[in-house]
């Protein structure tokens, strides 16, 4: 009888992509199956709490998005699964002081497979708009209102009347909603008290959302735009109707999303112009060229210079030669994200990890045997959670197909649907390097010594620790009539490790 070879997978990153891969593998290889007995999945995240952008990204007034965590909890109940929070796996130390740092190579002797699920954590910056006291990347704002462990300082909302967001994506709309919604309404959600206090001091009256292309090219979705139109406490400045005319020659090509967007803009906001104290506007075909502080006598703090743009034949934005400027107090750039250049196998030309169908490719073009990428780390910062889930399932299937080749999925005793066959890239690439442990008798529960030590010292959160925190946060929230009251690391650490 042949002995089943183990799959012992270390996943770097504990966001939704990691949990969806883990969940799929654990489901497809149940413990009742010989191969399932030899499956282990260990997730490492540099943050102390799991779930990546679901905890530290999704806007607080979208609580339903976080329901995916029920599935993650279910996966974590499997005894073959472990989560190690507060562990940065990288050859570059984390900027968060309390994080345990482990080199990627330290994992190799302990695992048969590695999955990079480290997301796209770096905001794209605009060359004309470097961060300063009058210009901030959207991610700093998101990290502020989600109490991310990097703890960015609060924006000076009490000094601002006019804020400009650059970028027509959903993150811009998330931030605009946070600024234009009454803090008393936000108080029912997962918003930390210091954030609510700051929002209550805000003197923002207008939010301007500026993009370099037109309404048909905007990347925000209709649902999020409708929410903006229905804001109870703000109106939208009507858009020049010329910009909203359906170009006759393109009428048939419009997607449903584009038609909806145009219809929403034409209908305008629920509140009539001038009927509320706060307002917002959206500018199309404007690309920033510079930002300069205003002279102290001016009421606004900065002048944003804008090049007027149009579209070329490939729908790219190109300057027309005309320019204008906008007086504003704070510019927030929301231009999307890329993976960290310090991530292994990062490709600067792609802005994410080089891979084909989830299999990592070295800079020399070799398939890295048993090393994979999923989620935003593999695809770039595109798409919503449903897309991240589909990608993760496909990568989990690829891992299984590579481990059990030639079975076409049939020999896997599958419980949960078909395995997607691998496509163009061959796994038996002659140049592939074997990095990981291929010993059939590998210790299934072993891990790097530094992780083991850090676990003993109470520096690492495991999933059971997180669930206790999760329950406590919800309990504290309920007492205050809100979704949850978050803990920071210090409080969480005391709660987990110093309880009698
Ligand atoms: C601000 C924002 C709001 C969003 N809101 C929504 C929404 O409302 N609805 C929706 O459907 N989608 C939303 N999305 C998209 C959604 O969040 C993504 O589709 C999804 O989070 C991608 O999952 P991921 O696991 O690939 O990456 P992430 O969620 O980013 O997870 C990556 C994880 O890797 C960890 N990590 C990184 N480097 C290391 C390392 N070296 N060692 C250990 N761990 C590491 C990070 O700490 C993080 O936890 C939003 C995205 C953003 C940016
Ligand atoms: N509620 C939700 O479902 C939700 C919430 C938040 C995020 N998300 C998802 O998360 C992903 C990331 O969202 P995002 O808003 O960060 O990014 P995004 O959707 O990619 O939008 C980025 C915006 O920035 C613009 N931009 C990029 N580079 C620019 C430059 N150099 N100069 C001027 N403008 C520039 C883009 O314009 P061009 O198109 O011209 O490049 C685009 O309008 C998206 O897929 C989004 O749907 C979903």
Using one digit for the tens of pLDDT, what is the confidence trace for 343-393?
999 999 999 999 999 999 988 888 889 999 999 999 999 999 999 999 999
User: What is the predicted pLDDT for the residue at 37?
Assistant: 93
Domain assignment of residue 491, yes or no: no
Cα distance between the two ends of the chain: 50
What three-state secondary structure class fits 115? strand
For 189-202, write each residue's pLDDT tens digit. 999 999 999 999 99
Same domain, yes or no, for 62 and 153? no
Domain assignment of residue 227, yes or no: yes
Same domain, yes or no, for 103 and 178? no
Extract the residue ranges of the chain whose pLDDT is less than 70.
1-3, 248-252, 297-298, 407-434, 499-500
Q: Which of 282, 308, 335 is the last residue of a domain?
A: 335
Residue 389 Cα, ligand 1 centroid: separation in angstroms? 12
User: What is the predicted pLDDT for the residue at 297?
Assistant: 63
User: What is the predicted pLDDT for the residue at 294?
Assistant: 84
Residue 311, ligand 1, Cβ within 6 A: no
What three-state secondary structure class fits 113? strand
Task: Give nearest CA residue, ligand 1 atom 1.
Answer: 57
Domain assignment of residue 111, yes or no: yes
Q: Which of 426, 444, 459 is the last residue of a domain?
A: 459
Domain assignment of residue 21, yes or no: yes
Which atom from ligand 1 is nearest to the alpha carbon of 50? 49
Residue 142, ligand 1, Cβ within 6 A: yes
Alpha carbon 476 to chain centroid, angstroms: 26
Domain assignment of residue 396, yes or no: yes
Is 296 annotated for ligand binding?
Answer: no
Residues 6+ apart with CB under 8 A from 168: 209, 211, 213, 217, 218, 219, 220, 282
Which atom from ligand 1 is nearest to the alpha carbon of 171? 1
Residue 338, ligand 2, Cβ within 6 A: no
User: What is the predicted pLDDT for the residue at 364?
Assistant: 86
Paired tokens of 246: 């359906």
Residue 486 Cα, ligand 2 centroid: separation in angstroms? 28
Q: How many domains does the chain have?
A: 2
Domain assignment of residue 156, yes or no: yes
Beta-strand relationship, 113-116 and 367-373: parallel
Residue 480, ligand 1, Cβ within 6 A: no
Same domain, yes or no, for 30 and 116? yes
Same domain, yes or no, for 403 and 421? yes
Which atom from ligand 2 is nearest to the alpha carbon of 335? 24
Q: Which of 335, 358, 389 is the last residue of a domain?
A: 335
Task: Give nearest CA residue, ligand 1 atom 7.
Answer: 58
Same domain, yes or no, for 68 and 141? no
Return the DSSP state at 237: P
Domain range holding 115? 7-121+338-459
Q: In this structure, what CATH number is given to the domain that contains residue 353? A: 3.40.50.720
Same domain, yes or no, for 310 and 219? yes
Domain assignment of residue 485, yes or no: no
Q: Which of 15, 138, 171, 463 to mutate to test the pocket of ligand 1 (most atoms within 8 A of CB)?
A: 15
Q: Which of 175, 214, 219, 307 to mutate to test the pocket of ligand 2 (most atoms within 8 A of CB)?
A: 219
């Amino acid at each position: 009888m042949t002995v089943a070879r183990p799959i012992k997978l270390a996943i770097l990153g504990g966001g939704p992509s990691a949990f969806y891969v883990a969940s799929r593998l654990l489901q497809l290889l149940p413990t009742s199956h010989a191969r399932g007995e030899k499956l282990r999945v260990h997730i490492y995240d540099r943050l102390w709490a799991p779930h990546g952008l679901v905890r530290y990204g999704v806007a607080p007034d979208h609580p339903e998005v976080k329901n995916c965590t029920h599935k993650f909890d279910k996966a974590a109940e499997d005894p073959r699964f472990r989560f190690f929070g507060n562990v940065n796996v990288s050859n570059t130390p984390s900027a968060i002081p309390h994080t345990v740092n482990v080199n990627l190579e330290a994992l190799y002797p302990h695992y048969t497979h590695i999955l990079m699920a480290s997301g796209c954590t770096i905001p794209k910056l605009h060359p004309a708009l470097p961060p300063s006291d009058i210009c901030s990347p959207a991610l700093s704002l998101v990290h502020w209102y989600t109490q991310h462990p990097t703890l960015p300082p609060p924006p000076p909302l009490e000094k601002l009347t006019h804020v400009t967001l650059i970028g027509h994506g959903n993150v811009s709309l998330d931030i605009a909603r946070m600024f234009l919604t009454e803090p008393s309404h936000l108080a029912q959600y997962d918003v930390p008290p210091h954030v609510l206090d700051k929002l209550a001091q805000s003197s923002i009256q207008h939010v301007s959302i500026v993009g370099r292309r037109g309404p048909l090219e905007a990347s925000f979705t209709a649902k999020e735009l409708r929410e903006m139109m229905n804001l109870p406490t703000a109106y939208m400045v009507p858009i020049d109707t010329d910009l909203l005319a359906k170009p006759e020659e393109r009428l048939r090509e419009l997607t449903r999303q584009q038609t909806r967007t145009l219809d929403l803009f034409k209908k305008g906001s629920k509140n009539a112009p001038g009927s509320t104290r706060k307002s917002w506007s959206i500018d199309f075909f404007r690309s920033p060229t510079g930002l300069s502080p205003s002279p102290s006598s001016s009421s606004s703090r900065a002048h944003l210079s804008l090049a007027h743009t149009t579209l070329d034949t490939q729908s790219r934005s190109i300057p027309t030669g005309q320019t204008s400027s906008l007086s504003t107090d704070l510019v927030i750039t929301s231009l999307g994200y890329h993976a960290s250049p310090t991530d292994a196998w990062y490709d600067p030309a792609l802005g994410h990890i080089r891979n084909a169908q989830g299999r990592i490719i070295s800079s020399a073009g070799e398939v890295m045997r048993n090393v994979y990428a999923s989620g935003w780390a593999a695809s770039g910062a595109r798409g919503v959670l449903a897309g991240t889930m589909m990608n993760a399932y496909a990568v989990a299937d690829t891992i299984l197909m590579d481990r059990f080749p030639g079975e076409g999925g049939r020999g896997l005793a599958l419980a949960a649907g078909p395995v997607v066959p691998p496509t163009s890239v061959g796994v038996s690439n002659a140049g592939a390097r074997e990095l990981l442990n291929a010993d059939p008798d590998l210790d299934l529960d072993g891990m790097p010594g530094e992780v083991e030590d850090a676990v003993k010292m109470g520096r690492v959160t495991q999933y059971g620790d997180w669930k206790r925190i999760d329950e406590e946060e919800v309990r504290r929230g309920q007492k205050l009539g809100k979704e949850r009251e978050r803990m920071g690391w210090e409080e969480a650490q005391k709660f987990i490790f110093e309880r009698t």
